[in-house]
Amino acid sequence: MMAVGEALVPWGMLAAVRSAAVLGVEAFDVTVEVDCTRGLPQWTIVGMPAGSVRESRERVSAALANAGIEVPPRRVTINLAPADVAKTGTAFDLPIAIAVLVAIGVVDQERVRDLVFLGELGLDGSVRSVRGVLPVARRLAPNGRQPMLVIPPANVAEATLVRNLPVSAPASVAQLVDWLRRGELPAACRAGEPRADASTADFADVVGQDSAKRALEIAAAGGHNLLLIGPPGAGKTMLARRLPSILPALTEDEALEVTAIHSIAGLLGDRATPIGRPFRAPHHSVSTAGLVGGGSTPRPGEASLAHHGVLFLDELLEFPRHSLEALRQPLEDGRLVIARAASVVAYPARFTLVAAMNPCKCSYLGHPTRVCTCSEAEVRKYRSRLSGPLLDRVDLRLTLLPVPPRELRDGSTCETSRVIRSRVERARSAQRARFGVCEGISCNGHASGRILLRSMRSDAHALLADAAESLGLSARAYHRVIKVARTIADLDERGDVATEHVQEALRYRL
């Protein structure tokens, strides 16, 4: 037992330990202040703590006792500064425990001055994993004099993705106290390189559906949204699940951004980074908060978890209409803003939407062999579940029919995902060169149509103007056709947009 005598505990002993918290996807500094004075034995936590933070007094006191550290009965006041921002989660257990030990004289204040603590404590004193370690590591990294981040061993993989940030990972609070008293905190082993995508989904498995493959290639090359309409068995889901296999690899900054969102959501586990680009396919019973984020304590939803990846909505018209309407903001702005009474939280949500739906309620409208039993009024009612403003944000629309069985038996060789991805990467390279250092623009789908209009030939512009008038295209649809045409020209390695590029883009709009 590491007993603390009465003489070691002065009146009004103060201690301060550095920690951090996450709001949205950004971290902010938190100072854990502890005042340990004589009085009725009780622990009080102030500074807008949530229920999980208030419960830390029981976890910390039990963890210290079971770790062999005796805390004398004192009145302990714990303040989490800044006090005007709500604190949630269990990551304050470890900094509170260390601050208490500093206040009672077990640990010297100077030993913790350049340390930042995060971690949950078990009742046995073990240090357990928490959410949001990577956003904290990213915040600490740019500082001139970088502090050491003290975190649970289970969070080392994500924290060490940030280069040149010293990290230490004690297995228990007793081990950490021993290190601090000796003044030696060993650095944790850094994570290896992120694992490569082990997915076996490849376009070589898809027989036929050449027009759908072409549309998916355009969507991947320009970051365009895609809607697939067809009866059951046409291959809508199979095609959508292969879209990530032709997307370019994430850049280092994109990988860190995606990993930070998954860290906040608690989805990383022991992985160093998500495998490849995110592919999220929520069930149609998902709530609005589950789809776009929210809750009493805001958390990222499926739209943010698909950031820099693919959000696949199968059976699109089975989703509640109000949930689908909530996607309009991220499809336009690439971010989600969740307003609550206490705070406003913003999450990035720059994803490629791929949706699949049946052509009618019975699913067989236009089927070559099955008869549709829906009336015209029923078809209109079924399709009215998808609003015009949301459909206007979908760049590519394609109707699929099932592949005839004789073609399935043919076994002809199809293009692999690697071949298609090479063309997509060349098109993306041209777009990066075009947009340069423009903030938040990495592909045509994110750019302004007015910028891309400059590269259109006069005859292509005239064709588009005539088509927009005859088809009644909105201003948004007009500019989205320009974006798709520019992507098609990039795939053809053309510097300007010709009439054939506009014609193909318009076909996907009908």
- Domains of the chain plus CATH, in order, are 6-182 (3.30.230.10), 203-411 (3.40.50.300), 421-507 (no CATH)
339 CB burial (10 A radius; 0-12, 13-18, 19+): exposed
Report CA 149 to chain centroid distance, whole Å: 23
What pTM, to 2 d.p., does this model score? 0.87
pLDDT number for residue 143: 62
Report CA 377 to chain centroid distance, whole Å: 40
The C-alpha atoms of residue 34 and residue 16 are separated, in whole angstroms, by 6
The C-alpha atoms of residue 477 and residue 468 are separated, in whole angstroms, by 9
- Closest C-alpha among 441, 447, 403 to residue 213: 403
pLDDT number for residue 366: 86
The C-alpha atoms of residue 216 and residue 246 are separated, in whole angstroms, by 9
Conformation bin of residue 314: beta by default, left when phi > 0, alpha when psi is -120 to 50 = beta
pLDDT number for residue 4: 47
pLDDT number for residue 441: 79
> What number of other Cβ atoms are within 10 A of residue 384's Cβ?
11
The C-alpha atoms of residue 25 and residue 488 are separated, in whole angstroms, by 34
- The gap between the terminal CA atoms of the chain, to the nearest Å, is 77
The C-alpha atoms of residue 219 and residue 440 are separated, in whole angstroms, by 18
pLDDT number for residue 440: 67
Q: Tell me: the pLDDT tens digits for 202-223?
A: 888 888 888 999 999 999 999 9
HEC profile of 290-341: HHHCECCCCECCHHHHCCCCEEEECCHHHCCHHHHHCCHHHHHHCEEEEECC
- Closest C-alpha among 168, 350, 169 to residue 253: 350
pLDDT number for residue 267: 85
Q: Tell me: the pLDDT tens digits for 272-313?
A: 555 668 999 999 999 999 999 887 778 899 999 999 999 999
17 phi/psi in degrees, rounded to 5: -130, 140
Q: Please identify every stretch of the chain with a pLDDT value under 70, giving residue numbers as ranges.
A: 1-13, 143-145, 190-200, 269-276, 341-342, 410-412, 437-440
Q: What Cα–Cα distance (Å) separates residue 318 from each residue in 255, 271, 315? A: 32, 33, 6
